[in-house]
């Protein structure tokens, strides 16, 4: 498995390239062994820092571009401020409630 370094995610919207969130079909721009690369990801996991291209090749994502991380942080803050993002406490409470329900059902 090769490693893509200094990467960022791009999407094409209305014919224009824009920074995007990691979803299947996105483009990953970065470097492999100091050579610029662009792959189209058919599968991408930001939590595992892995992606798969349209040819089935798997890659490790290492060292995202600082500008890209900054853009993601701004998008997350915007979503939080505008009620478009679940707060961690709400997610935790929902998870705890579900686990409690599952426990009660098992009894």
Cβ–Cβ under 8 Å, residues 63 and 4: no
**pLDDT reading at 90 higher than 60:** no
**What pLDDT sits at residue 8?**
95
Determine the structural domain holding residue 9 and report its residue range: 2-106
**pLDDT reading at 7 higher than 50:** yes
Q: How far is CA 19 from the centre of its chain?
A: 12
> At which residue do the structure tokens 């200094």 appear?
6
Cβ–Cβ under 8 Å, residues 76 and 17: no
Cβ–Cβ under 8 Å, residues 20 and 11: yes
Cα separation, 48 vs 40, whole angstroms: 18
- Tally of domains in the chain: 1
**What pLDDT sits at residue 92?**
45
**pLDDT reading at 34 higher than 70:** yes
Compute the average pLDDT of residues 36-45. 96
Compute the average pLDDT of residues 39-68. 94
């Amino acid at each position: 498995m090769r490693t893509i370094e200094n990467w960022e995610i791009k999407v094409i919207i209305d014919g224009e390239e824009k920074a995007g969130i990691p979803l299947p079909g996105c483009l990953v721009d970065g470097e492999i062994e100091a050579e610029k690369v662009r792959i189209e990801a058919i599968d991408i996991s930001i939590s595992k820092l892995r992606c798969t291209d349209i040819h089935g090749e798997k890659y490790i994502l290492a060292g995202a571009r600082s500008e890209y991380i900054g853009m993601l942080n701004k998008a997350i803050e915007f979503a939080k401020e505008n009620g478009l993002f679940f707060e961690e406490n709400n997610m935790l409470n929902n998870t705890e409630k579900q686990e409690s329900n599952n426990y009660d059902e098992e009894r």
